[in-house]
Amino acid sequence: MKQKAKQLIYLLIAFVALAPGLQAADYSINDFRLGEVVHGDSERMNDLEGKVIVIDFWGVQCGPCIKKMPHLVELDRKYADKGLRIVGAEMQRSRTNRIMSIVKKKNVTFPITRGCANPIRVNRLPHMAIFGVDGKLVYHGYPDSNVDTIILKELEKVVPATEHVITDIR
């Protein structure tokens, strides 16, 4: 009986560990409601169709969040014209002046919103959600070194704007 109980516990632990990945395909960008834009171009946030979207959940009191911002700025600089859209969602309900202080220090180029209502569990910061060109959630969790690989893989699926042009007009 003890052996069966151990096996069940291991199975539950494995399920909980894999659950975010299993649930990822169940959500789309339409299930997420970004808050008020406090920095950046809100028009850029309307241009999300057919793009790879990254929502970076962060906070002004989160050291690791602030430390990774220059990397996100670099990704934005490098891949925005290739179909990447990054949005930073400040999740600690901080005052605008505190948010803007960090945005200026880190030369943030992408939009920053005041929070994001969403169906996933964001237990700790930093947290990241990545959506493929079809708008489906492909990853959410701690932004470790694998997220760059996921982003680049999804960017390969972006259809260049020139391929959207109708060539046969009668």
Residue 16's pLDDT is what?
Answer: 41
Residue 41's pLDDT is what?
Answer: 83
Identify residue 33 by its one-letter amino acid code. R
- Any idea which residue has 């893989």 for tokens? 153
Q: Are 147 and 122 in contact (CB under 8 A)?
A: no
Domain-located, residue 148? yes
CATH of the domain at 115: 3.40.30.10
Domain-located, residue 106? yes
Domain-located, residue 13? no
List beta partners, residue 53: 85, 131
Q: Are 59 and 125 in contact (CB under 8 A)?
A: yes
Domain-located, residue 5? no
Domain-located, residue 120? yes
Domain-located, residue 117? yes
Integer angstrom CA distances of residue 43 from 39, 47, 81, 116: 12, 7, 15, 17
Domain-located, residue 17? no
Q: Are 89 and 56 in contact (CB under 8 A)?
A: yes
Q: Is 69 left (phi over 0), alpha (psi -120 to 50) or beta?
A: alpha
The closest of 110, 98, 105, 116 to 34, measured between CA atoms, is 116
Q: What is the pTM of this model?
A: 0.80
Domain-located, residue 15? no
The number of distinct structural domains making up the chain is: 1
Which residue segment(s) compose the domain that 120 sits in? 25-164
Residue 42's pLDDT is what?
Answer: 77
The closest of 56, 66, 69, 28 to 151, measured between CA atoms, is 56
Residue 48's pLDDT is what?
Answer: 83
Residue-level pLDDT, tens digit, the chain, 170 residues = 556 544 444 434 434 444 444 445 589 999 999 999 999 987 766 778 899 999 999 999 999 999 999 999 999 999 999 999 999 999 999 999 999 999 999 999 999 999 999 999 898 999 999 999 999 999 999 999 899 999 999 999 998 754 544 444 43
